A and B are shown apart, each in its own frame.
Chain A
Amino acid sequence: YIHIINKADMAASKGLKILVGCKRVIDYAVKVRVKPDRSGVVTEGVKHSMNPFDEIAVEEAVRMKEKKLAGEAVAISVGPPQSQETLRTALAMGIDRAIHVEIPLAQLEKLQPIHVSKLLAKVCESEKPDLVILGKQAIDDDCNQTGQMLAALLDWPQATFASKIEPSQDSKQLRVTREVDGGMETIDVSVPAVVTSDLRLNEPRYATLPNIMKAKKKPLAKMSPDQLGVDLQPRQEVISVEDPPVRKAGAKVESVEDLVGKLREKGLVK
C-alpha cells in the first residue's frame, strides 16, 4: 500500500493529516500488584490514564496544527470501552476527532502490538493520514514495537524516538531528530511516515475546562476488529507474571581500591 503525497511544498498545502495513537494504561503513580494466580497484574478498580508517551504524541500533533504544518489531527485508541475517556482527554488537548477500536474484554488481555499495528494499518487505509505519531512505548508492557511494525506493514518510512519534528530544508519532507544510544541522529523522511515520540519531544499541555467542554461536541467514531477484518488470535502465551525478586542488600566500600578489590573477588573484573 503506497500513498505518496503530491504536494510539493508542505507549507503551502492544506497541511498534513495526522493520526495519533493513544493507549489507556495503568496510571504511572499506581502501585502495580500481581494477581494471586500469576496470570497478570490487577487492573480492576485501578486508576488508568493515557500512556505518558502518547500524551507527548498528542501534544506534538496539536502543536503542528497550531504551527499550520498540520490541518487535521485524529486520535485513535485500541482498547476496552473505557478507552473513550483516554480519547476525550486527547480531544480536550486539541485533537479534532477520535476513533475508538473497541476490543471485547475477553480478547483484551491477549492483545499484542502485532494486532494493534494491523488494526492501525487498516485504519490508515481508509483515513489516509500523512503522518502517524505514536508513543515510543507503553508503560505497561514496554514493548516498543507498534510504531515499527506499523511502518513495516504499510511500507512507510519510520522515525522512532523523535525528540524534534520539523519540515526538512526543502519543505518536501520531515526532518526528525532521534535520540539514540550514541547521541542524536537527524534524518529526513518522506511522508507518509510513522514517527514515535520520545520524552523530550515536548511537554504536554493541561486540558483546560473550556477545551474539556468543547471536546464533548467533537466526533468520536467506534469500530470493531471484525469490521476492520483483523484476526486477534494471540501469537504468544503468557506463562506467568511474577514480582521482581526482592533487592538484596549491597555492601558499602570506603575507597576505589576496595571497590576494585571486591569486583575482582567476585570475578567481575580481571
Chain B
Amino acid sequence: MQFIRPVLHSQVCTSARPSARQFLQKLGKSCSFSLNSSSTRLYSTEFFPINDELYGLTDEQKQLRQTIFQFCQKELAPKAQQIDAENDFKDIKKFWRQCGELGILGVTAPTEYGGLGASYLDHAIVMEEMSRACAAVALSYGAHSNLCVNQIVRHGTDEQKSRYLPKLISGEWIGALAMSEPNAGSDVVSMTMRADKQSDGSYVLNGSKFWITNGPDADVIVVYAKTKPEAGAHGITTFLVERDSPGFSCSRKLDKLGMRGSNTGELVFDGVRVPADRVMGRLDGGVYVLMSGLDIERLLLSAGPLGIMQAACDTAFQYAHIRKAFGQSIGQFQLLQGKMADMYCRLTSGRCYVYSVARALAQGSRQPMDCAGVILKCAEDATQSALDAIQILGGNGYINEYPAGRLLRDAKLYEIGAGTSEVRRLVIGRAINNIYKS
C-alpha cells in the first residue's frame, strides 16, 4: 500500500492545539510592533463551529460550553493521542483536581457538597465538550460524575452523601459503579455476586465484577450484589464500597480496542465486609436504583458519541478543505460534500435529541424509551461518522498520527456499554408494546 506522505501543515495532526496563550507567544515576546506575519498564519478553522442558537441554550449554557471547550482543548486534547497509545492517563489525578476546581465533577450534585446544583443538560454539555477533546477520559468522567456521584446524590442518606460526595466532587477521590459480571452483561439482573448478612448487621460480599470503568483507580464504588439470590431481580441491593476494604482488589486492567486511557478493570470481592450503613436505598430494592440509574446514564453518556461526532467533523472538514487533488480541495468534490452533509445531519439531529431528552429529564420527566433511544441513535451515528472521517482523510485516516482511527475505536464502545444496541432496541420495542397493551 502506498502511504501518502502528509502534505499538510502539522496543524491537522492531533498534537498541536494551541490555546490563545500559545497563539500570543507565537506572535513574539513583548514586541510592540505588529507580528501578524503573512500567510504563515497557523490557524485555519480548526474547529467546525457549533451554532448554539439552534438548540435553545441559555446564555449561561453557551458560556459553560466555551469554558469547558477551552479547558479541555488546552488540558486534555494535546494528550489524547498519547493517552490512547499508552492505554493510560498518567495525569488523571491532576486532571481530576482541575475538574474539581471547575465544579464539573458534581454538576448535578447539591451545592452544599461542592456540586453545581445544575441540570442534566448542563452536565451533557460538559460531557460533550470533554468527549470532543478525548473520548476515553470523558468516559471515565461520565462514570465518575454520573454513574457514581449522581447515584449517591439520588439515593444516598445524608450521612453517605456527607461522607463521600465532598471528596468525589473535589477530585480527591475517583468514583466508579459496578454492576456487570463476567457472566452477566446484558442479563445484568442474573448477577451472582452475593451479599450475605452477618450477625452484626454488616454484609460480606463475594464475587467479581467485569468491565468496570475506573475500576483500577476508584476510591469509592457503587456495587450491586444479591442479598436474596432466590428472588432474582428483586433480590439485589446497592452498596457503597471503599477501595481499602480488606478482600477488595482489582485483578487486572483490561486491554481494550478503544477508550484506551479510560482504565477498565475486573474487580474481585473476596469476603469484603461492608457495614450496614453502607447500604444505599432499600434492601432488596436495588433493581430500581439500577434501572432508573441506567436511564439517566444512557442520557448523559449519549453526549459522549455526540462529542465524537463533533470531533469527526472538526478533523475531517478541515482536512477536506486543505487537502488538494486534481487541482482543487477535495471538499469540493460532490461525493465528499455528500459525506460531510451526512456527518453534519447526524451530529445536529443527535444534538437536538440529546438536549431535548436532557431538558425533559431535568424537568422530572424520565422516559426509558427516549433515554435508550438517544444513546442508541447517537452511538450508531458516531461509529458511522467516524468511518466517514477516516474515509475523508483517505490514506492519512489509516495512519495513527491522525485522530480518525481513534475516533472510530472510541465510538464503537458506545454501541455496547450502558446496554448494547440490541438491548436498547428491546427496551424501546417493549415500551411501544406497552402503549398498545389492552
Residues of A within 8 A of B (CB): 28-32, 47, 49, 52-53, 55, 85, 88-89, 92, 136-137, 139, 142, 144, 161, 163, 179-181, 198-199, 203, 206-210, 212-213, 216, 243-247
Contacts and interface: CB of A to CB of B under 8 A. Distances in A.
A206 to B, nearest CB: 5
B63 A212 contact: yes
Contact of A207 (B23, B63, B111): B63
A144 B32 contact: yes
Interface residues of B, number: 42
B438 interface: no
B49 A47 contact: yes
Given A52-B21, A181-B31, A212 B60 contact: yes
Contact of B103 (A92, A210, A216): A210
B103 A28 contact: no
Given A31-B41, A142-B34, A244-B38, A89 B21 contact: no
A29 B43 CA distance: 6
B39 A246 contact: yes
Nearest to B22: A28
B70 A206 contact: yes
B21 A199 contact: yes
A216 to B, nearest CB: 7
Given A136-B32, A199-B30, A206 B20 contact: no
Contact of B60 (A199, A216, A247): A216
B49 A244 contact: no
Contact of A199 (B25, B49, B71, B116): B25
A92 B49 contact: no
Interface string B313-339: 000000000000000000000000000
B399 interface: no
Interface string B30-66: 1111111111110111110100000000011001101
B118 A88 contact: no
B67 A142 contact: no
Contacts of B21: 52, 199, 203
B204 interface: no
B63 A88 contact: yes
Given A206-B102, A212-B67, A247 B39 contact: yes
A29 B47 contact: yes
Contacts of A53: 24
Contacts of B103: 208-210
5 contacts: A31-B45, A53-B24, A161-B32, A208-B103, A209-B67
Given A209-B118, A210-B103, A52 B30 contact: no
Contact of B64 (A52, A85, A212, A245): A212
Contacts of B44: 31
Contacts, number: 98
A89 B63 CA distance: 8
B410 interface: no
A28 B23 contact: yes
B125 to A, nearest CB: 10
Interface string B66-83: 110011000000000000
B5 interface: no
Contacts of A245: 38-39
Contact of B45 (A30, A142, A246): A30
A269 to B, nearest CB: 23
Nearest to B49: A47
B38 to A, nearest CB: 4
Given A88-B59, A137-B32, A144-B32, A28 B37 contact: no
B48 to A, nearest CB: 11
Contacts of A88: 59, 63
A203 B66 CA distance: 17
B38 A199 contact: no
A47 B104 CA distance: 25
B9 interface: no
Given A55-B20, A199-B25, A245-B39, 8 more contacts: A29-B20, A31-B45, A92-B63, A142-B33, A161-B32, A198-B30, A207-B67, A244-B37
A136 B33 CA distance: 11
Nearest to B36: A142
A208 B122 CA distance: 12
A213 B32 contact: no
Of B40, B49, B122, chain A has the most CB atoms within 10 Å of the CB of B49
Contact of B39 (A163, A208, A213, A244): A244
A210 B116 contact: yes
Interface in B97-145: 101-104, 107, 111, 116, 118, 122
Contacts of B25: 199
Contacts of A207: 63, 66-67
Contact of A209 (B27, B36, B116): B116
B437 interface: no
Nearest to B17: A29
Contacts of A181: 30-31
A230 B60 CA distance: 34
Nearest to A27: B20
Contacts of B34: 142
Contacts of B102: 206, 208-209
B418 to A, nearest CB: 25
A246 B38 CA distance: 7
Nearest to A84: B59
Nearest to B20: A52
B24 A52 contact: yes
Contacts of A180: 30
Contacts of B101: 208
Contacts of A209: 60, 64, 67, 102-104, 107, 116, 118, 122
A78 B33 CA distance: 23
Contacts of A213: 60
A145 to B, nearest CB: 10
A206 B71 contact: yes
7 closest cross-chain pairs (CB), A and B: A179-B30, A142-B34, A244-B38, A52-B20, A28-B23, A212-B63, A31-B44
Contacts of A52: 20-21, 23-24
A90 to B, nearest CB: 12
A207 B65 CA distance: 10
Contacts of B23: 28-29, 52
A208 B107 CA distance: 11
A210 B101 CA distance: 11
Contact of B29 (A29, A89, A179): A179
